[in-house]
Every structure is written in C-alpha cells, then in structure tokens.
Amino acid sequence: MALIAVFFLLPATIFMEPNVLAITVTLAREDKKIICFLLFNSSMAYFVNLTNFLVTKHTSALTLQVLGNVKGAVAVVISILIFRNPVSLTGMLGYAVLVHPCKLGFSFLSGFQNSDKKLKYGLAFPRFPEL
C-alpha cells in the first residue's frame, strides 16, 4: 500500500510544490534540527497508524471511531487551555454532545461483560476500561 501511495503522491507533490526539495535541503543546511523534526514527525505518523491498526485488531472499528472523536475533543480542550482561544456556547454544546454519547457507549458495552445478557443476545465485546 505504501509503494502505491508513493507512486501517486510523489508526482503530485512535485507538480504542486516544485521547489519543496530545494527548500528542504536549504533549511537542513542552515539548521540541522529540521532533520530531527522531520524524522520525529514521520516516526509519530508511523506510530499513529500502527496504534490504529492495533486498536482495530484488538477491539473493533467502532472503538477506533469513538476514540477518534474523543481525541478531537481532548485536542480542542488542550488548545483552549494552552492558547486561550475563545469558545462560544454553541461550540461547548457541540463538544458536550460529542463526548457524552462516547461515555454512554463505553458504559453500555462494559455492562455486557461477564453477564448473561452477552449470551442471550449473542454479543461478545472486548473489555473496556472504566471511564
């Protein structure tokens, strides 16, 4: 899959940003830290993808979607705390609507663990941590 992505994305990158390689080399000559930043960034992207695959393998795709929603909400809260961005009432309500069903869903699914309901309905869910 990665080879196919390189095959399609590399020509598009060269077409849309013709000087990107020259700029990167120039920046690397001026400041050696950019190489570390690029390696760190690509390593983090790799580990995010690996974590997504492992979460899907050990739980389900639904869990991955819920975690993605929670990650977005946590990123917004952290950005508000760090950058002091103003938040409207509508924005707060939107994130409350986003996070509350996630908590309810995990609570509902964890209630099926080690119960007769699981056998009655044919449900087999992985064990979720308590929130």
Residue 98 has a CB neighbour count (10 Å cut-off) of: 14
Q: Which amino acid is at 49?
A: N
Average pLDDT for 74-80: 85
Tokens 């939107």 belong to which residue?
A: 94
**70 and 89 Cβ atoms separated by less than 8 Å:** no
pLDDT at 11 > cutoff 80? yes
Task: Find the Cα–Cα–Cα–Cα dihedral 27, 30, 31, 32, rounded to 10°.
Answer: 90
Average pLDDT for 77-89: 86
pLDDT at 111 > cutoff 60? no
Q: Which amino acid is at 75?
A: A
pTM for the full model?
0.53
Average pLDDT for 77-105: 80
Average pLDDT for 56-69: 82
- The angle at the Cα of 48, spanning 42 to 36, to the nearest 5 degrees, equals 25
Per-residue pLDDT band at 129 (split at 50, 70, 90): low
Average pLDDT for 61-76: 82
